[in-house]
Structure 1
Amino acid sequence: MELTRFGRPQRTEPLHIKLLTFMFQNPNRVLLYEELVAAVWYPAVVSNSALNAAISNTRKALGDSGKCQKYIKTVSGSGYRFIADFSIIDTPQFANYAQNSSQNVKLPRSDQTNSTHKEPALPNKPSIAVLDFDCVAADQFSTLFARGLCIDINAQLSRQSHIFTIARASAARLNPNLMRPEDIGRILGVRYLVYGHVLHTGSQFRITLSITDATQDCEIWSEQFDCSADGLLMLQLEIILAIASAIDRAVETCEIERAFLLPTEDLNAWEAYHRGLWHIDKPTPKDIAIAQAHFQYAIKLDPRLCRAYAGLSIIHTNKVFINVDGNTTEDMSQASDYAKRAIEHGDRDALAHWSWGKVLFLAGEHQQSLQVYRNVVSLSPSYAHAYVAIAAVCAHHDKNTEALTHIAQGERLSPCDPLQFAQDSMRAVALANLQHYQQAADSAVNAVAAPNAYFMTYAVAAACLYLSQDIQSAKAMADKALQCQPDFSVSAYQRCFPASDESSRSDFIEAMIASGLPRTQTVSQN
């Protein structure tokens, strides 16, 4: 069939003829978005922009436009209505075409699937899709910003090797306003869906993001990000990295919680890994043992799971910190071996390289450690803990101003990080090295206020408070450190945080000793 206007054939595609035929069959009735999609495109699923483009081209063929709306009227928030007066010349050709085109007009139920389409299974690792963002403002700049933001966030998440991220081309085909999360997740084969809403008022943008677990049809996370339209292009990368970091943390938290709800015998390798991850940052012998068991079980299930090897490497460097086994040489050897195996199985995985950077730092190889951590940032620019790790090395390599810069970057990416105490403590060390003693003491006090602060945190606070002339508080912090770890000594601190030049922190070390902490470990006599 073809469409003629004033006797002249109009340039149209079969899609536009099919759309127009459906409107002829349903005149002066509001045709909902989902109804049009089901009638014209089923079983394919298309984005809202594709539907709008088809309507625009159909209007053009009729001599109509979005501004005039003589024939096809937009019903805001609902769909479209064909309002023109018309008559049908009953011909066999049109009757046959109308009959064929109406066969799929009924809306498909959520349990109906295309028999030729095999729906993908959920991957074992966390899986996510970034859907098209809504934009309240209709101006072109806001629309382009929302689209670009969506694309860039998808690109950043795609760099995270521990997350299965759906290609943008596939996610963009699905309209989040017309489909249920359950259906989108099933079609794409992902668990998590990122929804976005961009509001532009005056010179301000507000970006509201949420993550939905498509398998449960429930929202698991939501957060708002505000930014100024002034200099937006310069700030866009910073905004994108902060958003990608927040999404990564939210997914990881949900995966950990989900893993603990499953029976141990039903865990897959990634779920076992996430159980271990919950214990990894808790510096107690019990937590270290539990985390180690989960990582080993994950490797048993999947011998190529690089993150489980990285977790074991971090476990052994944690043992060096708390001296659980009393044999740091063996733990350093094990940490090095597991980090290398992690990189072998995942040379693009940020955590694998991060674990190797930590081994190098503990070995006193500051420059090599910095190179590795900077490589981590290039692999995963939104990985907040990589910036904090760089800061730790810099603070013990006479690069204290640079350390403060990297701490600020880490905090920008993760403003509510569970390891905030470590960032505050490292800031205190850098400030003390720069002889800003009162600022160092303030930051150290913030660190010890955290519920997960441990003996190293109290030791740093003791030194900083002593340097700020608050002797009484310094001694109280030293006592607290020894209560947490009776065998703690200043030499243990120096072993866990080696300096490239010990003379550069001599005042800090002497202050730690003066606060009441023993220079070397005292062996109790029975």
Structure 2
Amino acid sequence: MPEDRRLEFRIGINLGDVIVAGDDIFGDGVNIAARLQESAQPGTNHIAGAVYEQIRHKLPVAISDLGPQSLKNISEPVQVIRVTRADATEPGRTGAIPAFETPPVPDKPSIAVLPFQNMSGDAEQEYFVDGIVEDVITELSRYPDLFVIARNSTFIYKGRAVDIKQAGRELGVRYVVEGSARKADNRVRITVQLIDAEKGHHVWAERYERDLADVFAVQDEITQMIVAALPGRVEAAQTALAKRKPPQAMAAYDYLLRAKDYHHRRTKEDNVKALEMAEKAIELDPEYAQAWAWKLCILGQSWARGYGVIRSDLAAVADRIAATLERLGAEEFECHRLLGAARLYFFSDHDRSLYHHERAYELVPNDPRIVSQMGELLICLGRHEEAIEWIERALRLDPSEASRRVAYLAQAQFFARRYEDALRSSRRIAPLGASHHAFMAACHAMRDEPDAAAAQAREVL
């Protein structure tokens, strides 16, 4: 339909009590739904977290978790989820990635690893298959000569029929990896294909069938074969050659994969289950540094999402876990990444945080989480122009996490006195909460635009 004739709706949906009085309806359920509708951009739907819990796994929708948001005249932050149909299409798009500009393909070899198919016939094994993919993405991200798209962006395609050429265009990569995995008894079978997304032909394919205990060796072999099949010379930094230390018991690794799976679901109930799984992994192997690191991450999510955790209590637990990780001397990416985050967010220990961030980046330079965190840390250190560069790179590595990172980008631009850029970035954030309007009012005030500043300030009231 021509764009000038297209009707674009924005919809807000909440789950809560409603008071009916004659022809009118009242109550928090209605008020929050109205604010969700206002926060949505034309053509998008925003639902509360409680609604998502009722439809998860039941409807073919693609979601983007925007986190807790402050909505106008609503006293408590509301978990906001942006929803689109899984098969929604626009010209040239699948609806998977936020509709910012299509990213250009980098000069260096660029690659995205899509979710593998679970061939076990058992939906309960999804966590294992997803964990294999996540590990392969991390291993590829160790290579500084590659450009690797993040898990969060590639997993938007999970459970969908994917046009490889279109996915390559949306993600801005030349190569795509797809495959399948099956775990049965103590055996694992993995099939992998490397595809040229521009031309649509296969570059390399292999099938592996090994003992479950060899799964780490298989992941390393898959990574090395993918890198070898790419054109040109791809060199690993010396730190990338460091091998992951496997757990003493495979069951500990299995529990860690379950913990990650629950963690990625981002609900209060799943966060509790994630913590239980991480603690079981630690119980089986008290020296398993990655399990300790992920326990720290899960606790951090409890605090960040307002799951009833008291910050002072969490900081005490985080301090004990950090001490344990430093005692173990774990030279692993996840350990340094999460220690850096803990030192930044819980303790404001910027010097120690910088050490861990720099070490994590040396180990895995393509992970958008460490790239973004480094940008946030540089804001705190007053190095605002550098922060802008880091956050912009994180946005390119992981387009799916745009709103949160764009907010930090706007902050860095504001402190760098690039107020017009800060306003432009802020307009990309959805939904715009009270804090965002207050920030935009400050930008207009610094540009000596009192009318525009007043208009934004009114949105806060």
| Greater C-alpha radius of gyration | 1
Structure with greater strand percent: 2
TM-score range with shorter-chain normalisation?
0.3 to 0.5
User: Looking at both structures, which has the greater relative contact order when contacts are Cα pairs under 8 Å and sequence separation is at least 6?
Assistant: 2
